[in-house]
Amino acid sequence: MKRPKLRKASKRMTCAKRYKIQKKVREHKRKLRKEGKKSGHRKPKKDIGIPNDAPFKAEILREAEQRKQRLEELKQKQKLDRQKEHEKKRKLDAKKKDAPKQKTSSLKQQSSNKQCDKNSKKVPLQKVLCRELIKVIKASDIVLEVLDARDPQGSRCPQVEQAVLQSEENKKLVFVLNKIDLVPKTIVENWLKFLGKELPTVAFKAATQVRDRILQAKHSKMTSRVIDVSRGNTCLGGNTLMKLLRGFRQSPDKVIKVGVVGFPNVGKSSLINSLKQVRVCNVGPARGTTKCMQEVKIDGQVNILDSPGIIVSPSSSAVTLAMRAMPDIDEENPLNAVNAILKHCNKQQIMLQYNVADFKSPLEFITLLANKRGMLKKGGIPDTEGAARLLLSDWSGAKISYHSKPPASFILPTSLSQELKEDTWRKIDPQELQQNNLRTLKFARCPSMASSVVFHSPDLTDGVIEEPEMEEEMKASEEMISDEEEDQEEDISLNEEKEEDNLSGEEEEESRDISSRGSLAKESKASHREKNAKQAELPSQPTTDIQANTKDKDLWVSLDRPANENDDYDFNTDFV
């Protein structure tokens, strides 16, 4: 049965009742105003604003608007600071929780780093890195040169390739094209074809999120937990690379050693962690995280040697130094590096990548980027140096997608002869390797051509791998020390001569003073004796003769002996 609708009550009332309510409201408001006057509370006066007749009204309004904007910016800055503080606290809490878990996984790396630090105190860091790189090349049977897929030609070092290919132990060299997920697929395919004309090239994408050893052990016990396969956890090309390395074995019982070399931030340590599927090497966005050789056992057939980054030659171009070198950002000016990078990129693509307005100079671009990211100093001044460091970290890390195109013409390098090329490809099937690389690219999530910046790459990057001889440095240091000692001896002899000259000058002045005092004493003594002779009415000539005969003796003796001894005149009182 349908429920009947209830009729709503009417809001109509009699006029007497309505007037009565209005009267009560007026009386209540009147009462409140009266109590407010007694307590001293008054209604705030309304701001009448700036009258139209006031002089400089436009400037006053402009200043008020600027003051309002400053207050809003200050509030926004305080809000960002609070957010940063909260993020720092969260990170510290997370580090405190993960600290005991990461201790066991990084014991070997810490011990090796400590040894390098001890050596680096005595020897410069450049020599230590060169020494460790040479150790890796000598101890390895196969060398993997890791190349950045965004700039493979600029990631190659001809000095390292020559040292590997022309070694007496007949070492093999293989290219690993890492970071393929940051480059469009067509560009990666072109680079695989270009590099495959020289040596075997494997397309690879390292896993950025790898479990620690303790977490891996716990995870193996907890079989019910679901494995998270995300973009950062997946490794592509690992099976292809391991199959290629096992194909180089001469006997099934022999364990091959594989050295991993390359410039900083190309992903050497990440490649080893991805193959091991456990974090055994320290990785980070900063250049030069790895400083010593570290051996990692992948399985019973392959051992991998991690190496520090190749040192870029100081004579390289500004772009090469900005992209590949390990500079101290605090000491060098990052604006010069940013200027060199922007010159080799398309301006419109950079504007779209960072969502920045049109700019005329690199400094203007850095200023716009600092304002965009809220990087401001005291007084609202843009932090240009901080923005420049941010851009450099983006380009050296994995945040920016840029690519360079392979050269139009192919020329076989001088270090690689046709015999070495055939010897390297002898145990490898080129068609199978190409199919495996295409399968790897099929599962990779690569950006489109529209979202990637075109980068005009320079030629191969020259590196420093030869350690300077210690004997020459010792000779140079000994020569420097001998020169310093000779300079010190010359300074001492000059000081002694100056002191002798000063002493001789002082002695001459003293003798002059004494002689002048002696002559004055003689004159005063003669005048005194003449007076005594006149008083005694004695001839003065004999006394002068006696004085003339004994003047020198009386003078020097009288100066050395006491004044009142056998003499009528007190010499001391005359010259005091």
pLDDT digits (tens, 9 = 90+) for 218-246: 444 444 333 333 345 678 888 898 888 88
pLDDT for 222 equals 43
Q: Where are the beta strands (DSSP E) in 405-553?
A: 453-454, 463-464
Report the range of poorest mean pLDDT among 138-142, 199-203, 523-527. 523-527
Distances (CA, A) of 241 to 77, 176, 270, 519: 49, 8, 14, 109
Start-end ranges of CATH 3.40.50.300 in the chain? 125-211+231-314+412-449+457-468
Q: In this predicted model, which residue has the larger pLDDT, 468 or 228?
A: 468
pLDDT for 332 equals 59
Residue 313 has pLDDT above 90, yes or no: no
The CA distance from 232 to 273, in Å, is: 13
Q: pLDDT-derived band of residue 79, with 50, 70 and 90 as boundaries?
A: very high
Question: Considering the chain, what percentage of its residues have pLDDT values greater than 90?
Answer: 14
Q: In this predicted model, which residue has the larger pLDDT, 575 or 515?
A: 515
Tokens linked to 51? 């009258």
Report the range of poorest mean pLDDT among 154-163, 170-179, 212-221. 212-221
The continuous run of DSSP H or E covering 189 comes out as helix 185-196
Q: In this predicted model, which residue has the larger pLDDT, 348 or 113?
A: 348
What sign has the CA pseudo-torsion 192, 195, 196, 202?
Answer: negative
Mean pLDDT confidence for 381-399: 86
pLDDT for 530 equals 59
pLDDT for 107 equals 53
Backbone angles phi, psi at 296, to 5 degrees: -125, 130
pTM over 0.85: no
Query: How far does the chain reach from its first CA to its final CA, in angstroms?
Result: 145
The CA distance from 562 to 468, in Å, is: 78
Q: Tens of pLDDT along 345-364?
A: 888 888 888 888 888 888 89
pLDDT for 524 equals 54
Q: pLDDT-derived band of residue 500, with 50, 70 and 90 as boundaries?
A: low
The CA distance from 194 to 457, in Å, is: 15
Query: Phi/psi class of residue 407: alpha, beta or left (left: φ > 0; alpha: ψ in -120 to 50)?
Result: beta
Report the range of poorest mean pLDDT among 30-39, 321-330, 382-391, 535-544. 535-544
Residue 468 has pLDDT above 60, yes or no: no
Contacts of 264 (CB under 8 A, 6+ apart): 287, 288, 309, 310, 324, 325, 326, 396
Q: pLDDT-derived band of residue 56, with 50, 70 and 90 as boundaries?
A: confident
Burial class (CB in 10 A: 0-12, 13-18, 19+), 576: exposed
pLDDT for 75 equals 92
Report the range of poorest mean pLDDT among 401-410, 418-427, 510-519. 510-519
Report the range of poorest mean pLDDT among 102-106, 138-142, 380-384. 102-106
Report the range of poorest mean pLDDT among 132-146, 245-259, 326-340. 326-340
pLDDT for 570 equals 47
Residue 550 has pLDDT above 50, yes or no: no
Mean pLDDT confidence for 330-334: 60
pLDDT for 202 equals 92
Q: pLDDT-derived band of residue 553, with 50, 70 and 90 as boundaries?
A: very low
Contacts of 380 (CB under 8 A, 6+ apart): 70, 73
Query: Strands 311-312 and 294-297: what pairing?
Result: unpaired
Mean pLDDT confidence for 140-148: 91
Please provide the average confidence, as pLDDT, over all residues in the chain: 76
Residue 143 has pLDDT above 60, yes or no: yes
Start-end ranges of CATH 1.10.1580 in the chain? 318-396
Domain 318-396: give its CATH code.
Answer: 1.10.1580
Q: pLDDT-derived band of residue 37, with 50, 70 and 90 as boundaries?
A: confident
Question: Considering the chain, what percentage of its residues have pLDDT values greater than 70?
Answer: 69
Contact at 8 Å (CB) between 178 and 147? yes
Say which residue the tokens 């693509």 belong to: 349
Q: pLDDT-derived band of residue 145, with 50, 70 and 90 as boundaries?
A: very high
pLDDT for 120 equals 44
Domain 125-211+231-314+412-449+457-468's class? Answer: alpha beta
Angle at 145 between CA 144 and CA 151, to 5 degrees: 145
Mean pLDDT confidence for 16-39: 92
pLDDT for 223 equals 40
pLDDT for 100 equals 62
3-state class (DSSP) for residue 14: coil
Say which residue the tokens 């300079």 belong to: 487
Report the range of poorest mean pLDDT among 106-115, 386-395, 401-410. 106-115
Mean pLDDT confidence for 405-420: 84
Q: pLDDT-derived band of residue 409, with 50, 70 and 90 as boundaries?
A: confident
